[in-house]
């Protein structure tokens, strides 16, 4: 028991009665604190560190000079309220929202250290560090996964040439229990404390005072007053992130392979980190990542020399949540779910300007019953959200999101016949209406049909200026009406959600909206609990009532 080689299940009843749990918290568990001399705060590793095998807090915030993160605006950013006041509070505290780490961890010059910190124990916290430059050389036989932080049960030894060939069950034995209650917060991953530029030498957007003139993004419109995104942590920061730190020229000689690699875990929280400059994904899962929480992070410039998606979730991911993150300027998708086993909630994220190297959807879903709610998705060289047809992907709920400047549908349900590489990156475009069970079961979200307006034009009432929208949808489905402010597509993009109604038993719906003006366009989506959310309807135009 002392060495951790016996689990409680292997003890007798008499032995179990003598075991008492130890309450572990931040004040009682072991701590690694820092008091390094000024100018000598970078720790350069000659070899891979031993895994963190006991509950411990690795706390870079104990180094003298650390700036305490601001929390004074937290209450206002989560409960709605006055968005202007929230912006004012965040402007005042943006420079301390992600304090600059002082203690850095990297590999020594000329050494191959493929992993920064390895977590194999419960109740481990990694806080306030800069971790960067951890990768491995390409060989015929690859090493175990490299990256800044690796979370798993006890991994195999780094060098296995002299090891006996393991059994077929190795390393997943009964005693290989995944760690839980792992916390990663307030770190800069992939970024040195004094280096705020990407691998090409250009300033990172989260640090840049001025964005390069040849890569200026379009203005980001503020969310509507009725959007649930007002409570998101990062949305008020989007318009003034360029003011909060001054870029310095510091080209990275070696970039990390991955940021946080959750290989096998029963509970990991990744919160308020800046994750940038990785060859592959900033956050990636593998075997198991149950109860994973990815919250209030910035992910930028990841995936330009490997796995291109900022967040890549696969394996067993029961109760995973991706909430209030800022994900932009990555090589591929912002979030990609590859054949996962479990349900993921994706809520209140800002996902913008991704697909910098590969044309991909901002969010790609495989699997059942995922929820994509209240996100802001824009400037994507592909669709907004794509739902795969194979493996079977049904009952995925996609509601109250805000889309802008897409090269594809806001929501794209792939048909099973389209299983080539292109379909697994950018979908397959609008689906024809389904008229049989066999056709429906071969499409994402069971091929639920998009709503249909009874006309491509609706006229404004002369008396009160209201407009009555009528159409048909899946019987019993909730129909969400969107205002369309762009003229780039015939179906959407779904710019702003403005109203909600429900189709009756015959599949008919009708709703009166008072704030539409002539010249505006509207679209709609249908969500049914048995099937999921549909693709957008064909846009309808609002016209003034004829004078004659």
Cis peptide preceding 391, ω within 30 of 0:
yes
pLDDT tens for 268-294 read 999 999 999 999 999 999 999 999 999
What residues contact 118, with CB distance under 8 A and at least 6 apart? 48, 49, 50, 51, 52, 149, 150, 151, 152, 155
Angstrom distance (rounded) from CA 297 to CA 259: 12
Average pLDDT of span 414-434: 81
pLDDT tens for 178-217 read 999 999 999 999 988 875 555 566 666 555 433 333 434 3
In a domain? residue 530: yes
In a domain? residue 443: no
In a domain? residue 13: yes
Which pLDDT does position 31 carry in this prediction?
A: 92
> Which of the four pLDDT bands, split at 50, 70 and 90, describes residue 473?
very high
| 423 or 481, higher pLDDT | 481
Which pLDDT does position 238 carry in this prediction?
A: 45
In a domain? residue 409: no
CATH classification of the domain holding 536: 2.60.40.10
Angstrom distance (rounded) from CA 464 to CA 371: 37
| 512 or 428, higher pLDDT | 512
pLDDT tens for 126-181 read 999 999 999 988 776 666 789 999 999 886 555 555 556 556 655 566 677 899 99
Which pLDDT does position 195 carry in this prediction?
A: 54
Number of domains the chain is built from? 2
| 35 or 18, higher pLDDT | 35
Which pLDDT does position 464 carry in this prediction?
A: 81
Average pLDDT of span 26-30: 69
Task: Look at residues 327, 360, 393 and tell me which one is the last residue of a structural domain.
Answer: 360
Q: Mean pLDDT: which of 92-101, 167-176, 364-373 is highest?
A: 364-373
What's the gap between Cα 209 and its chain centre?
25
**Domain boundaries, position 532:** 450-543
Which pLDDT does position 142 carry in this prediction?
A: 64
| 396 or 20, higher pLDDT | 396
Using a pLDDT cut of 90, give the percent of the chain over it.
55
Largest CA distance in the chain: 93
Query: Which range (241-250, 407-416, 422-431) has the least confidence?
Result: 241-250
Within this chain, do residues 333 and 459 fall inside the same structural domain, yes or no? no
In a domain? residue 395: no
In a domain? residue 405: no
In a domain? residue 420: no
**Whole-structure pTM value:** 0.81
Average pLDDT of span 320-326: 96
Say if residue 239's pLDDT is above 90. no
Within this chain, do residues 478 and 341 fall inside the same structural domain, yes or no? no
Task: Look at residues 297, 331, 360 and tell me which one is the last residue of a structural domain.
Answer: 360
If phi > 0 it is left, if psi is from -120 to 50 it is alpha, else beta; for residue 463 that is: alpha
Task: Look at residues 360, 379, 410 and tell me which one is the last residue of a structural domain.
Answer: 360
Average pLDDT of span 89-104: 63
Average pLDDT of span 381-405: 92
Average pLDDT of span 503-519: 92
Within this chain, do residues 144 and 34 fall inside the same structural domain, yes or no? yes
What residues contact 280, with CB distance under 8 A and at least 6 apart? 257, 258, 302, 303, 305, 306, 307, 308
Within this chain, do residues 202 and 329 fall inside the same structural domain, yes or no? yes
Within this chain, do residues 114 and 242 fall inside the same structural domain, yes or no? yes
Within this chain, do residues 337 and 482 fall inside the same structural domain, yes or no? no
CA angle 516, 518, 522 (to 5 degrees): 55
Which pLDDT does position 505 carry in this prediction?
A: 93
Could you give the C-alpha distances from 19 to 8, 22, 175, in angstroms and in order? 9, 9, 18
Within this chain, do residues 466 and 336 fall inside the same structural domain, yes or no? no
Which pLDDT does position 240 carry in this prediction?
A: 38
Within this chain, do residues 351 and 470 fall inside the same structural domain, yes or no? no
In a domain? residue 168: no
Beta strands per DSSP E along 218-273: 260-265, 268-271
Which pLDDT does position 252 carry in this prediction?
A: 66
């Amino acid at each position: 028991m002392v060495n951790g080689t016996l689990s409680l299940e292997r003890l007798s009843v008499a032995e179990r009665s003598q075991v008492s749990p130890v309450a572990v918290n931040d004040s009682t568990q072991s701590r690694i604190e820092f008091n390094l001399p000024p100018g000598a705060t970078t720790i350069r590793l000659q070899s891979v560190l031993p895994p963190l095998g006991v509950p411990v807090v690795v706390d870079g915030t104990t180094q003298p000079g650390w700036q305490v993160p601001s929390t004074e605006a937290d209450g206002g950013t989560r409960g709605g309220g006055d968005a202007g006041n929230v912006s004012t509070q965040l402007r005042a505290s943006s420079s301390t929202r992600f304090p600059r780490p002082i203690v850095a961890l990297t590999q020594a010059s000329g050494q191959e250290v493929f992993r920064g910190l390895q977590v194999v124990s419960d109740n481990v916290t990694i806080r306030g560090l800069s971790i960067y430059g951890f990768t491995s050389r390409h060989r015929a036989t690859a090493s175990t996964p490299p990256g800044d932080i690796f979370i798993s049960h006890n991994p195999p030894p780094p060098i296995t040439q002299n090891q006996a060939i393991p059994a077929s069950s190795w390393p997943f034995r009964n005693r290989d229990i995944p760690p839980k209650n792992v916390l990663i917060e307030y770190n800069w991953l992939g970024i040195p404390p004094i280096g705020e530029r990407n691998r090409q030498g250009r300033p990172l957007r989260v640090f840049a005072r001025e964005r390069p003139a040849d890569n200026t993004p379009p203005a980001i419109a503020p969310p509507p007053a009725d959007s649930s995104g007002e409570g998101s942590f990062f949305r008020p920061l989007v318009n003034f992130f360029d003011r909060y730190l001054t870029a310095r020229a510091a080209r990275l000689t070696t970039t990390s392979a991955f940021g946080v690699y959750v290989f096998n875990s029963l509970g990991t929280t990744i919160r308020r980190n800046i994750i940038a400059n990785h060859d592959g994904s900033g956050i990636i899962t593998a075997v198991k990542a149950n109860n994973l929480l990815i919250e209030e992070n910035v992910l930028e410039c990841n995936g330009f020399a490997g796995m291109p998606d900022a967040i890549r979730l696969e394996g067993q991911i029961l109760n995973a949540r991706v909430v209030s993150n800022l994900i932009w300027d990555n090589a591929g998708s912002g979030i990609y779910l590859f054949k996962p086993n479990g349900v993921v909630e994706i809520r209140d994220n800002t996902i913008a300007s991704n697909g910098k190297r590969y044309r991909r959807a901002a969010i790609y879903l495989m699997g059942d019953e995922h929820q994509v709610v209240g996100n802001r998705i824009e400037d994507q060289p592909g669709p907004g959200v794509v739902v795969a047809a194979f493996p079977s992907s049904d009952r995925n709920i996609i509601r109250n999101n805000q889309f802008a400047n897409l090269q594809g549908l806001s929501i794209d349900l792939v048909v099973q016949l389209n299983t080539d590489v292109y379909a697994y990156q950018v979908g397959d475009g609008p689906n024809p209406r389904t008229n049989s069970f066999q056709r429906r079961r071969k499409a994402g979200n069971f091929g639920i049909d998009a709503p249909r307006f009874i006309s491509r034009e609706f006229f404004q009432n002369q008396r009160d200026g209201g407009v009555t929208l009528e159409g048909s949808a899946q019987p019993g489905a909730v129909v969400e009406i969107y205002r369309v402010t762009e003229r780039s597509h015939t179906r959407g993009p779904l710019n702003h959600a403005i109203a909600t109604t429900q189709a009756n038993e015959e599949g008919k719906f009708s709703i009166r909206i008072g704030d539409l003006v002539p010249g505006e366009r509207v679209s709609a989506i249908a969500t049914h609990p048995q099937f999921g959310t549909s693709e957008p309807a064909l846009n309808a135009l609002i016209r003034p009532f004829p004078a004659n």
